[in-house]
A and B are shown apart, each in its own frame.
Chain A
Amino acid sequence: MTAAMRPQASACPACSAAPAAEALAEQAADKDARLALSVPTVHCAACISAIERELAKAPGVHSARVNLTLKRASVEADHDVTAADLIAVLDRIGYEAHELDVGTLSSTATDKAGRDLLMRLAVAGFASMNVMLLSVSVWSGAEAATRDMFHWISAAIALPTIVFSGKPFYVNAWSALKHKRLNMDVPIVLAIILAVATSLWETSLSGEHAYFDAALALTFFLLAGRYLDHRTRAVARSAAEELAALEVPRAVRVRDGEEETVQVSELAVGDMILVRPGGRMPVDGEIVEGQSELDRSLLTGETVPVFAGPGFGVSAGEVNLTGPLVIRATAVGEETSLHRMADLVAIAESGRSRYTSLADKAAKLYAPGVHILSALAFVGWYLYTFDMRTALNIAAAVLIITCPCALGLAVPAVTTAASGRLFRRGMLIKHSTALERLAEIDTVVFDKTGTLTAGTPQVENLGDFARRDLEIALALAMGSSHPLSTALTHAAREAGIKPAQVSDIEEVPGYGTQGRIGDTLVRLGRAAWIGAQPLAQTSAFLSLGEGQVRAFTFSDSLREGAAEAVQGLLDSGKDVLLVSGDSTGAVEALAERLGIEKWIAEALPEDKAARVQALTNEGKRVLMVGDGLNDTAALAAAHVSISPASALDAARVASDIVLLGGDLSPIADAVTTARAATKRIRENFRIATIYNIIAVPLAVAGLATPLIAALAMSASSITVSLNALRLR
């Protein structure tokens, strides 16, 4: 079915969230809960009815509605219905669902803007079509009273439309002028106003030329460009919001021995918080009770879990691996180390904001040029004829013909096409100039843990073990959900190993798993616990009693498409660097495996940012690809940055492009697409300039009629849009 292949981006994202927001406002009144679920696997008509039916049957649910375009279900229910109940309902009929944070999703303001633009665009389209028809009869020879009547009717349609539809331009132009700057909107507004004013004057004198159609067509084409631009950004924003909304920030607070689930924002310093295995630290704190191991890879890039016991300090963002921990919050919200990193990001980002987009560069050359040209034409003709009416007419014609109709469409049309293409490949362009910047890069810096590697360990030396040892190891590993144990279980099962008979298996949080075979104590866990020398590599030790100790070594598995991405970038002549916070051995091994010659290990977050900065100072354009908190500063400092969807929120916020899937291979491709897009944008500027070069002399010479203006404007706009579509 064709509909199934249509990308999400083709929907109208701008008009999608507003009803949600309205519903939210209504809900606030009757105190019912409104829940949003992301249902990524919904794809057909039968799915819609099945999901809606099942959800509606669930106790306490008032109504449920599936949005197939956004792959979301919104549910209105009694206050005590939780998302977990509904996820279980959907799970039973075979649909995977995730809770979305309704608060993060409500994007009323942005949505209103999209609808507002669409409405103005519709009115401008309606009016310009009517006026164009009236103009056609004028051009084909309507005379005297008939022509005047047609002009007056055109004026009656055009005036209110210009006032209503042109509002976005007036607002932008005014705010630019207030800051004593010129932007693309200033010549637009001037052209529209001058065209309408001279046309009115001409009409009142029963003149021949009126530019009502030109003024309206101008508004229509420019609004179309604005709307495209807005839509592209709205799609990106809504997808980015959905990513953020997936992490519902909740924590379990322990008070007087009772557990309660609260929003992370409600936590205060001194609160006791329970973090279960697999959970992420919501705040900075100190462990009061329990012992476990912590995965700090998102913060530091280290892959080896660290042991944590009472008195040990933890930072927000670390993942608890084995045992439940109770921590006392020492810093919450803005004070946490996670948020302090934002300062680093802010400093690094100030460099990037200096980038001027191609459109701005064009506007900088263009806006003064247009004004000067039209003023010269006015002065020249006034001195030549001493006739205000002729001079003003010609000045208006010059402004209309040079007006950046095609320029206004040139960039948005290309970015919409390119972003749509990349979105289908699983890349989300968050920043409006990200594509242009991506096209310029010559150096790529990769982070290791979580970016090039999947963050899931793989057993390396399974073949070195005797079958009996593996059977015991499997039996022990099955008793734990620690990532290393999971990896070991998986690998052993693949190899066809059956677990040995081990009794009294218990997990000792923070250390490992132990059990008994007859009278012998067998253990699988950390080196110190087993009594072995720790290795530099990620490893787990198996003790078979009587001093027999063997080590399982682990390597991080490559992320899907990582090899292709690196190879593709190397092939296209980019410099590829690997900068990681992990140990030298691990980084070197990975660099060799991927064919990366330059690598840096044990880098602190500051080192990473400094490295990127140093490259930038050498005149390189750096693309940074990273996911961890230790990468955020480097992500922000780079010319352009990419992070995977699995990255920490802070890293995603700092980067320009987010990879939605787990696959890295689109990166090399994206650079090619970005280059093609920039080439198209430049081509479009050139096309627009050529039209101007042909039409402007005519206008200055006073030979331009409204017919020529209309032809030049429509033809250039349509060529530019078609050229942009070639990108698909």
Chain B
Amino acid sequence: MQVLSYLIPISILLGGVGLLAFVYTVKSNQYDDPEGDARRILSDEWDDHPKP
């Protein structure tokens, strides 16, 4: 049962990382234009130099 004492914190921590990542995506407006973003990735316009 010793193993629980570090496995539980680790699992919660990992879940928390996922949650923070989600919060980040919401805060940075990544759900604004899901359809447009799905298409933009196919455009080769900014392949060589990223969009300023």
Contact = CB atoms under 8 A, between A and B. Distances in A.
B39 A153 contact: no
Given A45-B43, A119-B26, A67 B1 contact: no
Given A118-B26, A126-B18, A157 B36 contact: no
SS class, residues of chain A in contact with chain B: helix
B15 A15 contact: no
B10 interface: no
Contacts of A12: 31-32, 34
B30 to A, nearest CB: 8
Interface residues of B, number: 25
A146 B29 contact: no
Given A19-B29, A118-B26, A146 B4 contact: yes
Given A66-B36, A119-B26, A153-B8, A45 B31 contact: no
Contacts of A171: none
A15 B31 contact: yes
Nearest to B9: A153
B23 to A, nearest CB: 7
A3 B39 contact: yes
B34 A129 contact: no
With most chain A CB atoms within 10 A of its CB, the pick from B1, B12, B33, B40 is B33
Contacts of B4: 146, 149
Contacts of B1: 146
B26 A115 contact: yes
Contacts of A11: 31, 33-35
B43 A15 contact: no
A123 interface: yes
A520 to B, nearest CB: 62
Contacts of A149: 4
A154 to B, nearest CB: 11
Contact of A45 (B18, B23, B29, B40): B40
Contacts of B22: 122
A686 interface: no
A126 B33 contact: no
A399 B2 CA distance: 37
A129 B8 CA distance: 13
Contact of B12 (A6, A67, A130): A130
Given A45-B43, A118-B26, A70 B38 contact: no
Contacts of B45: 49
A130 B39 CA distance: 35
A436 B11 CA distance: 45
B39 A15 contact: no
A48 B42 CA distance: 11
B32 A67 contact: yes
Contacts of A6: 35
A234 to B, nearest CB: 12
A18 interface: yes
A48 B43 contact: yes
A16 B42 CA distance: 22
Contacts of A130: 11-12, 15
Given A48-B43, A69-B36, A15 B29 contact: yes
Interface string A1-40: 0010010000110011011000000000000000000000
With most chain A CB atoms within 10 A of its CB, the pick from B12, B22, B39 is B39
Given A11-B33, A69-B33, A119-B23, A48 B39 contact: yes
Contacts of A45: 39-40, 42-43
A44 interface: yes
B31 A44 contact: no
B34 A69 contact: yes
B29 A157 contact: no
A622 to B, nearest CB: 39
A68 interface: yes
A118 B32 CA distance: 14
Contacts of A134: 8
Contacts of B39: 3, 44-45, 48, 68
Contacts of B40: 45, 48
Given A122-B19, A126-B15, A130-B15, A68 B32 contact: no
Contacts of A123: 19
Contacts of A15: 26, 29, 31-32
Contacts of B19: 122-123, 126
Contacts of A18: 29
Contact of B33 (A49, A67, A115): A67
Nearest to A12: B31
A49 B36 CA distance: 11
Interface in A119-140: 119, 122-123, 126, 129-130, 133-134
Contact of A48 (B12, B16, B34, B36): B36
A134 B9 CA distance: 12
A67 B39 CA distance: 11
Given A45-B42, A45-B43, A123-B19, A16 B36 contact: no
A463 B3 CA distance: 94
B37 to A, nearest CB: 8
Contacts of B15: 126, 129-130
B36 A68 contact: yes
8 contacts: A6-B35, A12-B32, A67-B36, A115-B26, A129-B15, A153-B8, A153-B12, A157-B12
Interface of B: 1, 4, 8, 11-12, 15-16, 18-19, 22-23, 26, 29, 31-36, 38-40, 42-43, 45
Across the A-B interface, give the 4 residue pairs with the lowest CB-CB distance, nearest first.
A68-B36, A45-B39, A12-B31, A15-B31
